[in-house]
Amino acid sequence: MSLLAFFEWLGNTQWSVDLHESQYAYPIIESVHVWTMAVFFGLAVMFDLRLLGWTFRNVPISQFNRRVLPWTIAAFVIMVITGTLLFFAIPLRSYQNIFFRMKMVLLVLAGLNVWFFHARVYPQVIGGPDSSMTKGARLAGALSLSLWIGVVFLGRMIAYNWFDCDRQPQPDVINFLTSCIPTAAEH
């Protein structure tokens, strides 16, 4: 079964239809997604600013890691749960949405950056003095900052249907990027 067929099937399940058509559940889930985004993004940016040395220079990075990261992770978990539900409510359309796809790519890159930071940069940083700064820390902070800003922008754009499959004609490159196969009549 192709992903396309799977998401088409998923979108036709009763649960997905109910969620999509619900008067309150969908907007509430979306609101929680946005509010936890603000908490996650805000605290992540504060961490990035520290890594870049733009502020909090006398707060050890390890302190940030111990005392602020748990909140950041909690918000991220809620965001993933609500985000999954939002996808589940409108699977096929999201799957073929160009902004959704770009957002997923940036999320993977942001995840790799988190791994890069915790596996490579952090062990070097914790041994140093309070104000310690390394090239790696700056790089991880700059990457994180740019990637998460990109994720927020793209996430907001998913709501818009400019490049959606059912809005033909679209340039070939768009239909390629959205795995869209327009019917001959639409072309």
Partner 1 sequence: MSLLPFFQWCYQTPIGGAIRDSTWLFPLIEAFHLVGLGLTVGAVLIVDLRLLGVGLSRQPVTQLSAATEPWMLGSLALMFVSGTALFLSEAIKCYYSFPFWVKMTTLLLALLFTFTVRRRLTRMSRASERSLLGRFTALTSLTLWFGVAWGGRWIGFS
Chain residues in the site for partner 1 (CB under 8 A)? 27, 30-31, 34-35, 37-46, 49, 55-56, 58-59, 63-64, 67-68, 71, 149, 152-153, 156-157, 159-160, 162
Letter for the amino acid at 5?
Answer: A
End-to-end CA distance of the chain: 26
Q: Which is nearer to partner 1, 7 or 43 (CB)?
A: 43
Listed residue (92, 69, 104, 78) closest to 164, CA to CA: 92
Quote the least distance from Cβ 87 to partner 1, whole Å: 19
Q: How far is CA 40 from the centre of its chain?
A: 11
How many whole angstroms separate alpha carbon 69 and alpha carbon 163?
A: 37
**Beta carbons within 10 angstroms of residue 83's beta carbon:** 21
Q: Which is nearer to partner 1, 10 or 152 (CB)?
A: 152
Cα atoms found within 13 Å of the Cα of residue 94, Cβ hemisphere only: 20
Quote the least distance from Cβ 160 to partner 1, whole Å: 6
Q: Which is nearer to partner 1, 8 or 164 (CB)?
A: 164
Quote the least distance from Cβ 33 to partner 1, whole Å: 10
Q: Which is nearer to partner 1, 159 or 185 (CB)?
A: 159
Listed residue (122, 126, 124, 102) closest to 114, CA to CA: 122
Quote the least distance from Cβ 183 to partner 1, whole Å: 25
Q: Which is nearer to partner 1, 13 or 63 (CB)?
A: 63
Question: Residue 60 has what DSSP assignment?
Answer: -
Quote the least distance from Cβ 104 to partner 1, whole Å: 17
